Amino acid sequence: MPEPVAAAVTRTPSGRLALAASPEPIALGPLDGRYQSAVATLVDYLSEAALNRDRVAVEVEWLIHLTSNSVLPGAGPLTDEQQEKLRAIVTEFDTASVVELAEIEAVTVHDVKAVEYYIGRRLPAIGIENLTAMVHFGCTSEDINNLSYALGVKGAVEDVWLPAATALVKQIEAMAEANRSVPMLSRTHGQPATPTTLGKELAVIAHRLNRQLDRIAKTEYLGKINGATGTYAAHVASVPGADWEAVARSFVESLGLTWNPLTTQIESHDWQAELYADVARFNRILHNVCTDIWSYISIGYFRQIPVAGATGSSTMPHKVNPIRFENAEANLEISNGLLDTLAATLVTSRWQRDLTDSSSQRNIGVAFGHSLLAISNVAKGLKALDVAEDVLAADLDTNWEVLGEAIQMVMRAEAIAGVEGMENPYERLKDLTRGQRVDADRMQEFVSGLGLSAEAEARLLALTPGKYTGIANRLVDHLK
């Protein structure tokens, strides 16, 4: 018996074993490798396989739409069973289908044409091989592509991204409610400023993020199916008696999309640019959240709950690093880099068509993937935080000078009410407090010597930095 021939070993130019030659695919990017579990749900909407499945769905529904409305002479409505079998081509689309499509495309060197042939192969089993010519009837590739991308992006946003983003904002809202009355020193320009409450500051974040979610939820997903240059020329030449605009509009709307009546060969993608700008704005606000929370952790306002068995530093065993927020920052920046590029690129097309959008749109899933990963990390990071109320209180107690604002405003009100000796309140407080630390005794001594009315003096003497929060706790109610 001859000796088995050893498999050839592939090596890189540097002599290392070539990992690309592994029988098991090795991911090039982190979303398909390290972070795959966090973004896996997007595969059903924004992967190449999902795009092809949506292309199959659009082609199938177009065939059913044309026959159901007897648009072409000699091609009347299909039976319920035939329609069900056609739609099963979509519902039963699986990994074997992906492989078959790839094999067809290797011959056609055209992805949408491969979809047309893929469907055509299945019509004899349904008993409608005579309708093979109706598959892709009157369509340019972009008629199928624009609708498929719209369906994929719509599904990804509504079924995956929005629920995750909404859950995160609800988590922040719950934190705002729980901490609505916890006083906290503000910092404007990084310096001690008028106190607030932790809950109110979290409510500001939630309010900002909710406004973006509202915009994203109202997105219009546009689509068209009007031929090679948007004129219905082939449609009218082949079936001049049909109301092709009505046929196109009813079809696009039947897919749950908004009909775009005026296009070139491509649907103009303006809706995509609008959506990506809104998602990018959400990302930027969330990025600001990450940097603020990171900073609050660094000054001790939040304590991080250690994860059993986890390592914070390879050499410093005491450390619990805010890695969730740092990871989120990076992924939000990557997401926005792609979203900004998509929004800028997709609104431009040379004359009636160029292919820049084709390559660009293949990165939509990556853009949403990095955003979804960031959302997941922020949610996990927030769950691992404890509010250090003792640190918050101590910080307030060492910054009595922030009451300077309150005192000088009371002095102004007293002056207006006719109380004498209230001249130059701002300047007097500036001399006392600017660039200086003032403790409770010094502040109360100052108040007692101002000559305020008895009521105003009592009110100010009862005031502490922790009580000087206005109606901050009530402002959280605006989230309701």
- Burial code (b: 16+ CB inside 10 Å, e: under 16) for 270-284 equals ebbbbbbbbbbbbbe
Name the CATH topology of 398-473.
Answer: Ribonucleotide Reductase Protein R1; domain 1 (1.10.40)
Q: Map tokens 């969330």 to a residue.
A: 286
pLDDT average, residue stretch 441-463: 92
- Please give the structure tokens belonging to residue 26: 């090795």
Assess whether 70 carries a catalytic annotation.
no
In the structure, what pLDDT confidence band is assigned to residue 317 with cuts at 50, 70 and 90? Answer: very low
> For the chain, what is the radius of gyration of the CA atoms?
32
Ranges of CATH 1.20.200.10 domains, the chain: 160-215+260-389
Q: How confident is the model over 330-379, as pLDDT tens digits? A: 999 999 999 999 999 999 999 999 989 999 999 999 999 999 999 999 99
User: Hey, which bits of 148-221 come out as E strands?
Assistant: 183-188, 191-197
pLDDT of amino acid 1: 55
Among 22, 70, 238, 313, the one annotated catalytic: 313
| Per-residue pLDDT at 107 | 97
Pairing of strands 258-259, 302-304: unpaired
Average pLDDT, the chain: 93
Question: What are the residues whose beta carbons fall under 8 Å from the beta carbon of 13, sequence distance 6 or more?
Answer: none
Measured CA distances, 280 to 19, 334, 336, 423, 466 (Å): 35, 10, 5, 50, 37
Helix axes 440-448, 454-461, angle to 10 degrees: 180
Instruction: List pLDDT tens digits, range 163-217.
Output: 999 999 999 999 999 999 999 999 999 999 999 999 999 999 999 999 999 999 9
List the catalytic residue out of 189, 314, 318, 359.
189
160-215+260-389 maps to CATH 1.20.200.10? yes
- Indicate if the pLDDT at residue 316 is higher than 50: no
- Measured CA to CA, the distance from residue 402 to residue 413 in angstroms comes to 18
What pLDDT does 308 receive? 57
What local confidence, expressed as pLDDT, does residue 278 receive? 98
Q: Are strands 302-304 and 191-197 parallel, antiparallel or unpaired?
A: unpaired
So what CATH class is 43-137? mainly alpha
Report the C-alpha gap between 30 and 180 in whole angstroms.
Answer: 38
The band of 320, judged by pLDDT with boundaries at 50, 70 and 90, is low
Residues of the chain with CATH 1.10.40.30: 398-473
Q: Where are the alpha helices (DSSP H) in 347-363?
A: 356-361
Tell me, yes or no, if 207 is annotated catalytic: no
Residues of the chain with CATH 1.10.275.10: 43-137
CB neighbour burial string for 191-207, b if at least 16 within 10 angstroms, e if fewer:
ebebbbbbbbbbbbbbb
**What is the rounded average pLDDT of the residues 258-275?**
97
- How confident is the model over 259-276, as a mean pLDDT? 97
Q: What is the pLDDT of residues 109-158, one digit of tens each?
A: 999 999 999 999 999 999 999 999 999 999 999 999 999 999 999 999 99
Residues near 78 by Cβ (< 8 Å), separated by ≥ 6? 64, 67, 68, 86, 128
